């Protein structure tokens, strides 16, 4: 701005230059950068009328005679020096202001670059750190695809027969170990797992009553079954011989299924929660005088030697497992289905016969029948006029039959049963396990 306020003005011999604009006219007339009067010929200078740069104070200009040119020239030269100083100060201030603005622009650009770099770094960290996706209503309502990326709960530790059953029921699943049967039920109910695979009966040891009771206590549905062959091994620490063992630990049913072998060894027996847990306990505590009955996979996982293979008393040792889920599956009729129910009856003669006849009359085959005392009402008091007071157990009856709930025969049978049953609940209608049971399933 200051540079435009100090133009170079020249008065030549042939023309007079003056400013005619408002406030600039007043200042510029007294601040001519250079007046070249000395270049005028002396003869002509005497004849030349000059409009001297004199302000009358009212915004007009007055003409001066040649006699005052000398004084005007000295005045203009003094003003010229003052004007150069002012121009230098203004130029310095303008340059300083430009430098400050340039610095501010540079700082703003640096700050923008730094902010951009910080944002880019945060985005990179966000990409590197993957947080778990919270469950939504869509996740809850949409069940996972069958057999793929499922979390399947089982009782025991890695290497247990239940883990093998979970892998057979849902290949490529993520097996979730639980310390107790009830913990597996709760894992599914609380969405910590998608399915549960739990044993229900064994061909040698019989029914696992604890799981029958849990089926009533919890609201899970049976969606399938799987059967595996149980192949027991006697395990010990490396270098230990079976003759040196003083005790053997395992699940109670495993100990009962190997009774003959254990009697020949003459060892003490101690029950633990599961077979693989026994192998883990020996390895963790370096127990050289203790053996475990477990699977070959447990020996591999916990670094134990197989001291004896196939020590079960009966080679046809099969365990049936149930597959449990939060929601039932849709029953079908294009393949063989099995349905599991539980019911209670009033105390009267022939009540159980009537209940079973609803299936026999419709040619429905029963594959299992199990009775359990009711936990909340274990006893019923009945008045007997002749013999005083008699006490009877109140029972629940668990039945499996070969029919789908989509079959009209099954629907009609349960409809008739409900007419005289005091309690009836369908635990599940699911496909039957038709795969052959091999002797080496537990090793895989």
Comparing CA positions, the residue from 403, 434, 406 lying closest to residue 338 is 403
Length of the chain: 444
Residue 37: count other Cβ atoms within 10 Å of its Cβ: 16
Give me the sign of the Cα torsion angle 398, 404, 406, 408: negative
Burial of residue 61 (CB within 10 Å: 0-12, 13-18, 19+) is middle
Burial of residue 331 (CB within 10 Å: 0-12, 13-18, 19+) is middle
The radius of gyration of the chain's CA atoms, rounded to the nearest angstrom, is 52
- Helix (H), strand (E) counts: the chain: 13, 17
Given a contact cutoff of 8 angstroms between Cβ atoms, the answer to whether 60 and 52 are in contact is no
* DSSP code at position 121: H
* Residue appearing with tokens 């019989």: 206
Half-sphere exposure at residue 46, Cβ-oriented, CA atoms within 13 angstroms: 2
Residue 156 is encoded by which pair of tokens? 């025991």
* Residues acting as catalytic residues: 319, 321
Rounded (5°) CA angle 435-358-397: 70
Give me the sign of the Cα torsion angle 15, 16, 18, 20: negative
Q: What is the dihedral of CA 41, 47, 51, 56, to 10 degrees?
A: 130
- Starting at the edge strand that comes first in sequence, how are the strands of the sheet with 290-294 ordered? 268-271, 247-250, 290-294, 233-236, 305-309
Residue 329: count other Cβ atoms within 10 Å of its Cβ: 18
């Amino acid at each position: 701005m200051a540079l435009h306020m100090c133009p170079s003005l020249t008065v030549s011999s042939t023309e007079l230059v003056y400013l005619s604009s408002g406030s600039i006219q007043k200042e510029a007339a007294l601040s001519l950068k250079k007046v070249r009067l000395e270049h005028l010929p002396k003869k002509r200078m005497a004849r030349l009328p000059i409009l001297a740069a004199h302000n009358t104070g009212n915004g007009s200009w007055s003409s001066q005679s040649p006699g005052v040119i000398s004084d005007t020239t000295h005045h203009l030269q003094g003003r010229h020096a003052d004007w150069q100083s002012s121009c230098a100060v203004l130029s310095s201030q303008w340059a300083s202001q430009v430098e400050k603005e340039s610095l501010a622009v540079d700082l703003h650009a640096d700050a923008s670059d730094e902010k951009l770099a910080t944002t880019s770094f945060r985005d990179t960290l966000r990409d590197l750190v993957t947080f778990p996706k919270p469950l939504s209503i869509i996740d809850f309502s949409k069940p996972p695809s069958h057999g793929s990326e499922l979390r399947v709960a089982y009782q025991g530790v890695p290497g247990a027969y239940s883990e093998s059953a979970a892998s057979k029921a849902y290949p490529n699943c993520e097996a979730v170990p639980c310390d107790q049967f009830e913990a597996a039920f709760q894992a599914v109910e609380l969405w910590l797992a998608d399915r549960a695979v739990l044993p229900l009966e064994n061909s040698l040891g019989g029914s696992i009553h604890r799981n029958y009771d849990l089926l009533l206590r919890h609201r899970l549905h049976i969606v399938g079954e799987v059967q595996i062959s149980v192949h027991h091994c006697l395990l010990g620490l490396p270098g230990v011989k079976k003759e040196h063992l003083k005790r053997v630990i395992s699940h109670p049913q495993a100990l009962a299924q190997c009774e003959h072998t254990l009697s020949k060894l003459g060892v003490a027996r101690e029950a633990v929660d599961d077979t693989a847990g026994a192998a883990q306990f020996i390895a963790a505590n370096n127990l050289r005088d203790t053996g475990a009955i477990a699977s070959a996979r447990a020996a591999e996982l916990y670094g134990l030697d197989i001291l004896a293979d196939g020590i079960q008393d009966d080679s046809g040792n099969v365990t049936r497992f149930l597959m449990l889920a939060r929601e039932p599956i849709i029953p079908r009729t294009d393949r063989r289905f099995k349905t599991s129910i539980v019911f209670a009856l009033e105390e009267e003669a022939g009540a159980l016969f009537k209940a079973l006849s609803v299936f026999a009359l419709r040619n429905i085959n029963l594959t299992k029948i199990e009775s359990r005392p009711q936990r909340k009402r274990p006893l019923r008091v009945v008045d007997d006029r002749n013999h005083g007071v008699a006490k009877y157990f109140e029972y629940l009856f668990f039945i499996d039959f070969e029919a789908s709930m989509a079959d009209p025969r099954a629907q009609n049978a349960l409809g008739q049963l409900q007419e005289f049953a005091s309690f009836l609940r369908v635990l599940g209608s699911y496909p039957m396990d038709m795969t052959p049971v091999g002797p080496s399933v537990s090793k895989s």
